[in-house]
Amino acid sequence: MYERQIVVNELAQGLRPVAEGMAWFAGCPEAEQRLVVRELVHFCIQAHATAEDAQEAITRSGLRPTYTPAVMLIHWRLHMSALPPYDLPRAFRLLIALLAIADARRRERYCVGGCGHEWHQLARSTGAGPAAT
């Protein structure tokens, strides 16, 4: 797994504080930020995020529902890597929240008895528990 994939999965699983994740994202060049956002959209789809998860993700992220990434998510328009640079951190925060919701549901339904998903083994490999946000 790439560093960015580990970081986003640790954030979604509560193994890394959101503030630390936001600082990591801010330190990435714009091209890398766009790649991270694109991968997050893919991870959310893989985790079976639904349009119904959008409002909860907006609430969890702390974003205003009028921000462009939130409006896009409500309308299930997920091409967020094309956003202007100032909206990329908002999209990142929002998509982390969406991934957290969808992945938690997937864990409860399909992975409760254990699974082979590498990203679900992060807490074991680091010995970490949920992080404070």
The 10s digit of each residue's pLDDT in 102-117 is 999 887 776 566 655 4
Domain range summary for the chain, segments of one domain joined by +: 3-126
pLDDT confidence bin for 120, thresholds 50/70/90? very low
Residue-level pLDDT at 23: 97
Query: How does pLDDT run across 29-62, given as a tens digit for each residue?
Result: 999 999 999 999 999 999 999 988 999 999 999 9
The pLDDT value given to residue 3: 85
**Confidence (pLDDT) at 108:** 75
- DSSP for the chain? --HHHHHHHHHHTTSS-HHHHHHHHHTS-HHHHHHHHHHHHHHHHHTT--GGGHHHHHHHHT--TTSHHHHHHHTT---GGGS-GGGHHHHHHHHHHHHHHHHHHHHHHHSTT----GGGGHHHHHT--PPP-
